[in-house]
Amino acid sequence: MTIRHFLTLNDFSLDELVALVEHAIRLKRDLKQGKTRQTLAGKTLAMIFEKSSTRTRVSFETAMNQLGGMAIFLSPHDTQLGRGEPMEDTARVLSKMVDAVMVRTFEHDKLVRFAGHADIPVINGLSDSYHPCQLLADIQTYMEYRGSLTGCTVAWLGDGNNMCHSYINAAHLLGFRINVACPDQYRPDPGAVDLDRDNVLITSDPEAAVSGADLVVTDVWASMGQEAEEADRRAIFAPYQASQRLMSLADKDALFMHCLPAHRGDEVAAGVIDGPQSVVWEEAGNRLHAQKALLEFLLINGEW
Ligand code: CP
Ligand code: NVA
């Protein structure tokens, strides 16, 4: 079986992505009907977390359990990674013992190097540059509520960060328009994503970005590793808050998403995240189903 990694959404074709999300929706329905599944019996996922996590850890661990396998949590604090053992060596060693590895780290290049030395599938559980697993859940959630994102308009408010990059990748793959509203100095990185496409608008005007949008998305203003910049960023990003006023400019049926954790009163108004257009809890829950589909895609070649 050919080894496939999932480091960015670009590792998938459009057909694969759509099939995976459709499978996630089926898995969710089956689970609700009490159907159990042992497709990953005997298989082990190692999960390296160099940054904190609630959703990613719990969803991957639960996913492996529900599919009959198991997951091992590894942190730099109590593994040799924290004492300087190179990622490359860790990748070689884990390849001899487990069936797949999920890595949450800082520099995306570390993940690329890890994957380059692993002969098992490697999953990006978030890097400074991308968060593709979250996009699987977001695409699934939009599909469940409204159908395909293809042809839609998504408004991204705030930092041109890892989540924003993955949204831009999704826009290219699925064929939707993305309007990114951000302060000039926090634009998405043209080294990480292709910004020179007709479906991408980068603006410093949040009203223009949300106007008529089908989906409004935001994320924290200071990502993990940027804690020291929090106060400065709070002032700079204030006009980009997902507020009720901005939501009223979007399409009347627009949904609101946030990968979480959220800061009410900063990047999102409480009335928006806790309001009728918000689907953030379903979005968070879909991490489980989307990643079960991802694990089956990578570990049993999508033979579902
Ligand atoms: N959205 C997300 O990845 O959450 P965690 O940081 O809790 O894993
Ligand atoms: N941009 C955020 C996403 C958290 C899930 C971060 O990297 O901290």
Mean pLDDT over 49-77 rounds to 98
In this structure, is residue 83 part of a structural domain? yes
Q: What is the model's pLDDT at position 128?
A: 98
Same domain, 259 and 184: yes
In a domain, 26, yes or no: yes
- Per residue in 276-290, pLDDT (tens digit) is 999 999 999 999 999
Q: Is there a single domain that holds both residue 138 and residue 191?
A: yes
Is pLDDT above 80 for 150? yes
Mean pLDDT for all residues in the chain: 97
**Which ligand has its closest atom nearest to the C-alpha of 130?**
2
Q: 194: closest CA among 170, 213, 161, 169?
A: 169
Does some domain include residue 276?
A: yes
Query: Residue 95: which CATH number?
Result: 3.40.50.1370
- Does residue 239 carry a pLDDT above 80? yes
Residue 183 covered by a domain: yes
User: Which structural domain, as residue segments, surrounds residue 17?
Assistant: 9-131+286-299
For residue 208, how far is its CA from the centre of ligand 2 (angstroms)? Answer: 25
The number of the ligand nearest the C-alpha atom of 166 reads 2
pLDDT in tens, 263-273: 999 999 999 99
The rounded Å distance from CA 260 to ligand 1 centre is 6
212-218 average pLDDT score:
99
Report whether pLDDT(166) > 90.
Answer: yes
Vertex 113 angle, CA 43 and 126, to 5°: 65
Could you give phi then psi for residue 122, rounded to 5 degrees?
-120, 130
Ligand 2: which atom is nearest the Cα of residue 56? 5
- Concatenating the DSSP letter of every residue in 205-216 gives -HHHHHTT-SEE
- Same structural domain for residues 155 and 255? yes
Ligand 2 pocket, mutate which of 49, 102, 168, 223 (most atoms under 8 A from CB): 223
Name, in order, each residue with C-beta under 8 angstroms of 184's C-beta and a sequence gap of 6 or more: 204
In this structure, the number of other CB atoms found within 10 A of the CB of residue 265 comes to 10
Cα–ligand 2 centroid distance for 260 (angstroms): 8
4 is a domain residue: no
Phi, psi for residue 181 in degrees, rounded to 5: -105, 115
Q: Is residue 139 assigned to a domain? A: yes
Q: What percent of the chain has pLDDT over 70?
A: 100
What are the structure tokens assigned to 98, written together? 């487990």
pLDDT level of residue 207 (50, 70, 90 thresholds): very high
Q: Are residues 193 and 225 in the same domain?
A: yes
- Quick one: pLDDT at residue 12? 98
- Residue 8 pLDDT: 98
Q: Does some domain include residue 1?
A: no
How many domains does the chain divide into? 2
pLDDT band at residue 2, thresholds of 50, 70 and 90? confident
Interval between CA 202 and ligand 2 midpoint (Å): 20
Whether 119 and 142 map to the same domain: the answer is no
For residue 301, the model assigns a pLDDT of 86
Looking at the domain assignment, is residue 304 inside a domain? no
Q: Are residues 114 and 77 in the same domain?
A: yes
Residues 247 and 177 in one domain: yes
Q: Could you give the residue numbers annotated as active site?
A: 104, 131, 134, 219, 259, 287
